[in-house]
Amino acid sequence: MKVLPEALSGSYLPPSEIGRLVGDDVCAICLEPLRLRAQTIALCGHVFHRCCLNRCGDLLCPQCRQPIDELTGTRWGLFAVGTSVTICGLQNHVELNGTRCRVVEIHEASHRLEVRTSESGRLYRVRPENLVVGEGSLQANEQALAGDSPRPASAWEANWDHLQPGAAVQLTGLHMAHYNDRTAVVLCVDRGTGRCEIRLGDGSVKTIRAENLRVLSPRQERQEDPAEPGRITL
């Protein structure tokens, strides 16, 4: 693998312009000739197919583990163990956007940060580009799930007597329609925040506002929780 002059670091070049520089070198990710497709030159000078690097989803050079560009290096510098962060920009787990957390561990090898949520204490491994420093607000997350303004407390406070661990509930009134009518079991309740942690039929755990839960059965046989909260990679 050739290392190009530092002056070219961070550049994007078409095959016609870079072919004379890379010769017969291959992309270290796909092992095919570099000249076949458009390339990315990392800050360190290593060259890869742009599409391969995008598919890899890593902000560090696969060759030397240095930041690919200056923005990447700056972003990693924002985080330290104990930093308050807010999850944002997730596409596959949009219900977690707006969740406030603290960084508990940094995994540079996998390019993720392990964070613990402030409300439930659950652990997630998140890419740094999906975290912003600061506690932020849960408003965006709540609007994404529920859509409408919360109903008056009197319309749902009566549910608290039945929203106990082990109760069977049905999700309702969520903006994300594919969750509506799904059933779940309550794991724990937090009257202070007005939310319940529930387990859906597929085993996934969510934290939902009490007003979006309809009690089907006050209590079922309690399912045993794992000794340690699971770590979910996003």
Report which of residues 51 and 133 the model is more confident about: 133
| 47 and 80 belong to one structural domain | no
User: Which stretch of 59-63, 161-165, 205-209 has the lowest confidence by average pLDDT?
Assistant: 59-63
CB neighbours of residue 121 within 10 Å: 10
Which has more confidence, 20 or 63? 63
List, as one string, the DSSP characters of 115-167: EEETTT--EEEE-GGGEEES---SHHHHHHHH-SPPPPGGGTGGGGGT--TT-
Max mean pLDDT range (46-50, 67-71, 98-102):
98-102
pLDDT at 57: 57
Q: Is 5 helix (H, G, I), strand (E, B) or coil?
A: coil
**Structural domain for 183, as ranges:** 167-215
| Mean pLDDT on 172-185 | 83
Q: What is the CATH number of the domain that holds 104?
A: 2.30.30.30
Out of 53, 72, 91, a domain closes at 72
Predicted confidence at residue 16, as pLDDT, reads: 57
118-143 confidence digits (pLDDT tens): 888 889 998 888 888 875 433 444 44
Q: Is the pTM of this model over 0.75?
A: no
pLDDT in tens, 92-101: 887 888 888 9
In a domain, 159, yes or no: no
pLDDT at 156 exceeding the cut of 50: no
In the chain, how many domains are there? 3
Domain contains 184: yes
For the chain, the residue count is 234
Angle at 92 between CA 173 and CA 225, to 5 degrees: 75
CA–CA gap between residue 180 and residue 206 (Å, rounded): 13
Q: Residue 190 above 80 pLDDT?
A: no
Residue 196 lies in a domain: yes
pLDDT at 211: 84
